[in-house]
Amino acid sequence: MNFDFTEEQLMIQQTAKEFAEAEIAPSSIERDINAEFPHEIIKKLGELGFLGMMVSPDYGGAGMDTVSYVLAMMEISKVDASCGVIMSVNNSLVTWGLETYGSDFIKQKYLIPLAKGEKLGAFALSEPEAGSDATNQHTLAHREGDFFVLDGIKNWITNGRNADYYLVMAQTEVEKKHKGITTFLVEKGIDGFEHGKKEDKMGIRSSDTCSLIFTNCKVPVENIVWEEGKGFNFAMNTLNGGRIGIAAQALGIAVASLEASIKYAKQRKAFGTEIANHQAIQFKIAEMATKVEAAKLITMQAAALKDAHKPYVKESAMAKYYVSKIAVECALEAIQIHGGYGYVREYLVERYLRDAKITEIYEGTNEIQRIVIARSLLSEH
């Protein structure tokens, strides 16, 4: 596999890096403390084409490949993983799903503003009793004339209060179990749709997470995405690509942890010399750097397979599983290298740990990723 990036891919990476350093970094500590949504930053990311990166220009997108998306996600998440997840959900879970499975009506009405960054999307699969066990959907939808009526609760929804359009999975035929689940595009503000409490999170605090409550909520039939009964396949297929985005987010945090550690080790003195001269620190840095390189390769492999239209289910699960794990390990080591300074907000590395932890949980826990990997291997041989 060739990982020589094209000039265009490198330019996208550079644009993301410069934007993140100039526009995202200055407010990141304050937004983390106050759990404040980055409205202005997200608007500007939209103007740069970073909210519909892989969508065709025919539908308002930037027409870039998955490799470019990974490079941009990595640079944004390196500076602020909260902005990373907002961007990731709109790109991988919402716009990709709508472009791949949406009707022309859905694409014209909803995909175009989402891809242009004029509107923001959310993906609502999880429920109070359906996290890893995602087939156990309790949100119900029944048909009444030209509408479906939704009742139920969705939990832990990224972009919860700030999204405009929501992809909601609901059970339309209970007896058919996961084959009776359907995806609906629901607009914010319609009758019977309310937001639940905003979650007070450990990390990615400047992204917004809340529950969604549907009570007798009427959604037009034409807002079904793909077709009735295809909602679970829609969710699974979309999440396969989403996991590449989360791997890229975790990669950004791991790279940030490594770079902060190297910088600090060359400045901080102990026992009469910079701590970078102590083998105990050198071993940690070497270990982190090796993991980061492996993480880059496994993430790029999944992205390149997706771009080449080759199977990538196993590889995206592997990337998400491995990179999220090493992001947590690298953030922990960065704190250890920083000592007491690593435990206070000013040096950022304590946030890297809090932000990294969620990458082992959302878009399928790492236990689920290993199930996906094992099932894939066992059915191959």
Catalytic residue numbers, as ranges:
363
The size of the interface with ligand CAA (CB under 6 A), counted in residues, is 23
- Other C-beta atoms lying within 10 Å of the C-beta of residue 235: 24
Binding segment (CB under 6 A) for ligand CAA, from list 7-15, 118-126, 190-198, 213-221:
118-126
Contact 316, 250 (CB under 8 A): no
Q: Cα(259)–Cα(262) distance, rounded to whole angstroms? A: 5
Q: Based on CB atoms, which residue is closest to ligand CAA, 231 or 342?
A: 231
Q: Based on CB atoms, which residue is closest to ligand CAA, 176 or 266?
A: 176
Q: Cα(108)–Cα(10) distance, rounded to whole angstroms? A: 31
Binding segment (CB under 6 A) for ligand CAA, from list 31-39, 192-200, 232-240, 339-347:
232-240
Min separation Cβ 73 and ligand CAA, Å: 13
Q: Based on CB atoms, which residue is closest to ligand CAA, 135 or 216?
A: 135
| Residue 126 near ligand CAA by CB under 6 A | yes
Q: Based on CB atoms, which residue is closest to ligand CAA, 292 or 368?
A: 368
| Residue 100 near ligand CAA by CB under 6 A | no
Q: Which amino acid is at 70?
A: V
Which DSSP category does 199 fall into? P
Residues in the chain: 381
| Residue 163 near ligand CAA by CB under 6 A | no
| Residue 370 near ligand CAA by CB under 6 A | no
What radius of gyration, in Å, describes the C-alpha atoms of the chain?
A: 21
* β-pair type (181-187, 224-225): antiparallel
Q: Based on CB atoms, which residue is closest to ligand CAA, 149 or 302?
A: 302
| Residue 96 near ligand CAA by CB under 6 A | no
Among 98, 292, 300, 368, binds ligand CAA (CB under 6 A): 368
Q: Provide the H-helix boundaries in the chain.
A: 7-19, 28-34, 39-47, 66-79, 81-88, 96-101, 104-106, 112-115, 231-267, 279-307, 313-338, 349-359, 366-380
Positive/negative CA dihedral, 368, 369, 373, 376: positive
Q: Cα(62)–Cα(356) distance, rounded to whole angstroms? A: 28
Of 305-324, which residues contact ligand CAA (CB under 6 A)? 313
Among 237, 277, 336, 366, binds ligand CAA (CB under 6 A): 237
Residues in touch with ligand CAA (CB under 6 A): 85, 89, 123, 125-126, 132, 134-135, 158, 178, 232-233, 236-237, 239-240, 313, 362-364, 368, 371-372
